[in-house]
Structure 1
Amino acid sequence: MINKLNRRKELRAELLERRRQLALQHPELGARLAEHVRAWLETQEDVFLVGFYTPIHCEPDLLPALSAWVSRKSARGLALPVVGRGKSMTYCLWRPGEELVEDVFHTKVPRVKRQAFPDLVIAPCVGFTSQGFRLGYGAGCFDRMLENPASRPKTLAVAYEACRADGLFEPAAHDIPFDWVATELGVRPVSGRSGPDQYR
């Protein structure tokens, strides 16, 4: 177990540095990724409320693209994650321009807390596999939020293609695969939805 945890820790550090270099040297990749997400969302007719994130550690910034998506139809909205006691995570409604405050994880959360239940949750990844498993920061917040199949929203993992980690880590028993993965190449369905290398 210790060896597996150490390998994950080393892989996480390597991929974080890889992501940092990509973000600094090729900012156009993040913009391209965000545009793919916006275009893909336009095809999801049953998605009206999107849970996303405020970027830290050089994560791709989706806010401009998601703001554009929201502005096209009044029924659309956004929500941001708020982590509570025991690292439990819920989402709260947020509109572009509303005040944000910093939480204990140094992410930005809505100052006014209005709980929401997104149709789609977008999560940043340190690394990902073709089967939709994501390597995060190790807190397990997303896995705990998604563990109830009855209330589970659609899920989209976001990462750079260079952070694809097939064969580099084994999913833990509690890891829950995401439905789609978005990179600068496009949005790919996973978890048996179609072939692992089909982007659109």
Structure 2
Amino acid sequence: MTGPAAVKAAARAAAAAARKAAHAAGQGRAAELLADLLARELGGRQPGTAASGRVLAGYMPMRTEIDPLPAMAAHPGPVCVPVIDGRGRPLRFRQWTPGAAMVEGAFGAQIPAEGAWLEPDVLIVPLLAFDARGFRLGYGGGFYDRTLEALRARHPVLAIGFAFAAQELPQVPLEPTDQPLDRIVTEKGLFPL
């Protein structure tokens, strides 16, 4: 493997190791900070507020991904999680609640066994690494990049990266299809973009 693919593969390996070490050290205040950011960005935590009408997409944490579930559960409006609909396709999102029955989906991700298909206004995005420009390094499937591009073509979408501060790189290697994040939250606070 040579060229941009090799650069990204090396960056993924280093980022995965940094995330693993940070995960072992604990998640600190990350979930609380994410919930606070969501409440500010969306307009509150109570039913009947501006937030209650906005659809939030989170994710079911795998391996050493930082856990967004407390922030997802605190959102007063509809919450959904990504479902892989096939290689080369954008993600779809199925409604999730804290007590939802889950099944194993593609790549081992847990997805709701049933529920409405929703289109999110705000996405909490997992990642391996991020940089000060707001770019993220994912797992290499391009699912979130395709999804953000498609959603942004239809309506305004807020993409929030959720990561450990140790996952920051000086510069994420980019390809023309990479989509930037709007905010990044770490256990140390809101990362300035």
Q: TM-score normalized by structure 2? A: 0.87
CA distance in 2, matches of 1:122, 1:63: 10
AA paired with 2:190? V
CA distance in 1, matches of 2:167, 2:21: 12
| Other-structure match for 1:84 | 85
Deviations 1:62-96 (A, max 9, x none): 112321x23xx4xx121000011234211111111
| Other-structure match for 1:157 | 161
Q: Report the CA distance shift for 1:150/1:104 in structure 2 as closer, same or farther (over 3 A).
A: closer
CA distance in 2, matches of 1:127, 1:91: 23
Moved more, 51-60 or 146-155: 146-155
Q: Report the CA distance shift for 1:137/1:183 in structure 2 as closer, same or farther (over 3 A).
A: same
Secondary structure of the 1:132 match is: coil
Moved more, 114-123 or 45-54: 45-54
CA distance in 1, matches of 2:132, 2:79: 27
CA contact (8 A) 2:7 2:173 kept: no
Identity of matched residues, %: 28
| Other-structure match for 1:193 | none
CA contact (8 A) 2:35 2:70 kept: no
Secondary structure of the 1:91 match is: strand
Q: Report the CA distance shift for 1:154/1:135 in structure 2 as closer, same or farther (over 3 A).
A: same
Q: Report the CA distance shift for 1:156/1:150 in structure 2 as closer, same or farther (over 3 A).
A: same
| Other-structure match for 1:14 | 14
Secondary structure of the 1:86 match is: coil
Moved over 6 A (4+): none
Q: TM-score normalized by structure 1? A: 0.84
Unaligned runs of 5+ in 2: 44-49
Report the count of equivalent residues: 181
CA contact (8 A) 1:179 1:189 kept: no
| Other-structure match for 1:32 | 29
Where do 1:94-133 residues align within 5 Å?
A: 94-133=96-135
| Other-structure match for 2:67 | 61
- Residue 61 of structure 1: how far off its partner (Å): 0.9
CA contact (8 A) 1:143 1:175 kept: yes
CA distance in 2, matches of 1:94, 1:38: 17
CA distance in 1, matches of 2:85, 2:130: 25
CA distance in 2, matches of 1:93, 1:105: 19
